[in-house]
Amino acid sequence: MDRLFFLLSGEHETLPTAELKAILEAEGFAYKVLEKLDQVLRVEAGATCVEAVKRRAALTRLCALELFTCEAELSEAVKALRSTSIGELLRRGETFAVRVKHVKSHAKHVDGMTLER
């Protein structure tokens, strides 16, 4: 099982989470909710569930593989990224990019552009 996170619509407080759970259950995917945050649901599930969610969800904005979690501090994020074996996830010749998405007003003190660089 993989650790995934879903960025949910902020249009309603509970409907996006309920929709996502209903899709996973209707499609027969085993999952475990790790954490519910503002507009983010962290789950442990097989990555094969992503296609079903992509096809059926109206209130999910994106899904991604969770590589690590850390405190919302620049030094903590850099340290966590350096300890992650991203090279094992990439095929030969592939590259990756870092993107920072601030959700609502959380972690305003974190400079997203600096983290992306």
The string of DSSP letters for 46-99 reads: -TTHHHHHHHH-SSEEEEEE------S-HHHHHHHHHTS-GGGTSPTT------
Same domain assignment for residues 6 and 60:
yes
Task: Give pLDDT, residue 78.
Answer: 86
Same domain assignment for residues 54 and 81:
no
Same domain assignment for residues 42 and 81:
no
> Among residues 22, 40, 65, which one ends one of the domains?
65
Q: How many domains does the chain have?
A: 2
Task: Give pLDDT, residue 61.
Answer: 95
Domain region containing 45: 2-65
Same domain assignment for residues 13 and 54:
yes
Same domain assignment for residues 55 and 81:
no
pLDDT tens digits for range 1-57: 999 999 999 889 999 999 999 999 999 999 999 999 999 999 999 999 999 999 999
Q: Is pLDDT at 117 greater than 90 in this prediction? A: no
Q: Is pLDDT at 103 greater than 90 in this prediction? A: no
pLDDT tens digits for range 58-99: 999 999 999 899 888 888 988 988 888 887 888 899 988 888
Same domain assignment for residues 53 and 108:
no
d(CA 74, CA 22): 36
Angle between helices 15-26 and 49-56 (to 10 degrees): 130
Same domain assignment for residues 88 and 60:
no
In whole angstroms, how large is the CA radius of gyration of the chain? 15
Supply the pTM of this predicted model. 0.84
